[in-house]
Structure 1
């Protein structure tokens, strides 16, 4: 069955600080890329903003600073809420206990991700499963369209340099693509270390992978993007039920990443200290330090990415083979986000390698 192409409404609340023309340009590009129709509409007052939230289709709401507009999140769980600025205080939770979506802190670029999330969740809805009590301890699963018996399960771990402004919505498109290919796709959210500490992050990933392994009963594949690549390979080293670990533009050398001050010091900020100051944390967490992992690995890297990540990927693949692991290294044209774009050649090649291994 052909998935629906919902109409998308982007509505901005009163008092939002942003150039409407720029928001419209960003939105129009995304509408075209997704093959949907859409509009961007400013709400002059609270009444108009409230009325727009109940329109059919996919709605992305930028409430701005108005307290009344922000309070409406509790009444509209189907809306994707977007703050251009960072917001450590979550919007009000829906009163019926359903899970809302609040993206924040990504600037104007965040609008592209909000539109994508709104479209993907309507085109192929996901079922959310909690693996803990914290609001960030959940996984969203999309089963394959047609399946008989047990099918391979794929756990997807998002990146974002372990910072809380980035979330599982980054992996929506790959989840949909993998489900359409015949996999059971699980998009895993976890507590990020900037708010909860490194131990909470690693524990959540382990618990989430365990949940999928227990529920699926079949082969488990773990795929991580960027910082999620590090988390995926560590999870594979810790859990023998993982039968393939895939890194998409992963941060695979934490020590060197710290020394090179990657992404303005993201490694030390996430792990709670420098490699020199907390060496044991790096030894437990670094894919390079954990070799051999004892599990087959697929290391994918876009040649147009950050050159440090290209360096990490190439050196890691060589070191893993030397250590005795089964490793496939795939480098093609593409940037940091092409590896999670279902339309890109590098992702199609990646998915082909995985499918050839696990699907009939």
Structure 2
């Protein structure tokens, strides 16, 4: 039987997550955690209800899942607050590990759309503290002793912010997130772009739906091509369906994502 526990990681109404746990034999521990990061072009119109079916399904298949909510544009989010929340929400697992027998040697993120961007960005955090981005790194306030992701399954993620801005995806969503155009905030754009953290030392599966009309395939293709020469090249995985098939537990597209999560946790 799946258990659900809601916890706050800050004082804002959007700073919370819900932990979905499968039943365990007495004395056993949950081996790894899946952090579910919902999408919605970083806007407050969309919330953690998008990730709830995925977290419930993962728990039903034996995985501990942490469905993470965060501040978005329109309810206190945007730069740098959305980024702060993603890191703080993941770090909350350190506190929860003792309460719920979580083993944090493997923490994998499953992120859809804008959530894919945030998940892959968080996986590259340790590569972003370089001198040229020091001011942005301080603004986000990353904890050097925090929980680090050991793999990501990006579901039609916005993995190339430069191209996303140029294409004006979702009527200027990137500029909404970062407070203005890249010409005004080049440091923010570079810091927030998963491309800037390449090469990564953790695996990334860039899953993209063949009929996705919301996020162009180029978002995943350009990232995977740029990551090709790294120590752990990202992999492009094409699945059938549209943008939302990826978050439909009954769809083949989502089932493939769950299989990739299991592979990363194995």
What TM-score do you get using the length of structure 2 for normalisation?
0.84
**Partners of 2:253 and 2:6 in 1: CA distance:** 29
Q: Which residue of 1 aligns with 2:50?
A: 170
The whole-number CA distance in structure 1 between the counterparts of 2:184 and 2:242 is 33
Residues in 2 aligned to 1:161 and 1:177: alpha-carbon distance in whole angstroms: 23
- Work out which structure has the larger RCO, using CA pairs closer than 8 Å and 6 or more positions apart in sequence: 2
Quick one: which of 221, 244, 248 aligns to 1:314?
221
Query: Is 1:209 the counterpart of 2:82 in the alignment?
Result: no
1:200 aligns with one of 66, 74, 81 = 81
Aligned twin of 2:112: 225
1:333-348 to 2 correspondence within 5 Å? 333-348=240-255
Distance 1:271 1:307 in 2: 20
Which residue among 150, 154, 157 is the counterpart of 2:37?
157
Q: Deviations over 1:156-185 (max 9, x none)?
A: 111100110100000111101110111111
Counterparts of residues 23-42 of structure 1 (less than 5 Å)? none
Q: Is the 8 A contact 1:249 1:301 kept in 2?
A: yes
Q: State how far apart, in whole Å, the 1-side matches of 2:215 and 2:86 are.
A: 25
Deviations 1:232-268 (A, max 9, x none): 0111112672111121111111111111110111111
Q: In structure 1, what is the equivalent of residue 67 of structure 2?
A: 187
Q: How many Å separate the matches in 1 of 2:210 and 2:216?
A: 9
User: Structure 1 runs of 4+ off > 6 angstroms?
Assistant: none
Q: 1:213 to 1:314 in 2, by over 3 A?
A: farther
User: Is residue 328 from structure 1 mapped to residue 218 from structure 2 by the alignment?
Assistant: no
**Secondary structure of 1:128's match?**
strand
In 1, Cα distance between the equivalents of 2:215 and 2:111?
18
* Corresponding residue SS for 1:194: coil
- Identify the residue that residue 358 of structure 1 maps to in structure 2: 265
- Which sections of structure 2, spanning at least 5 residues, go unmatched? 127-146
Change (3 A) 1:193 1:241: same
Count of residue pairs brought into register by the alignment: 237
RMSD: 1.8
Q: Work out the CA distance in 1 between the residues paired with 2:165 and 2:94.
A: 32
**Matched ranges for 1:1-360 at <5 A:** 126-146=4-24, 148-196=28-76, 197-214=78-95, 215=97, 216-218=102-104, 219-238=106-125, 241-306=148-213, 309-359=216-266
1:290-336 CA distance string (max 9 Å, x none): 21132111111001002752111111111112233332221121111
CA shift digits 1:47-85 (9 cap, x unpaired)? xxxxxxxxxxxxxxxxxxxxxxxxxxxxxxxxxxxxxxx
2:141 corresponds to which residue?
A: none
Bigger drift between 195-204 and 155-164 goes to 195-204
Contact 2:42 2:177 (C-alpha < 8 Å) held by counterparts: yes
Which TM-score applies when normalising by structure 1?
0.63
For residues 35-57 of structure 1, give each alpha carbon's deviation from its aligned partner in whole angstroms, at most 9, with x where no partner exists.
xxxxxxxxxxxxxxxxxxxxxxx
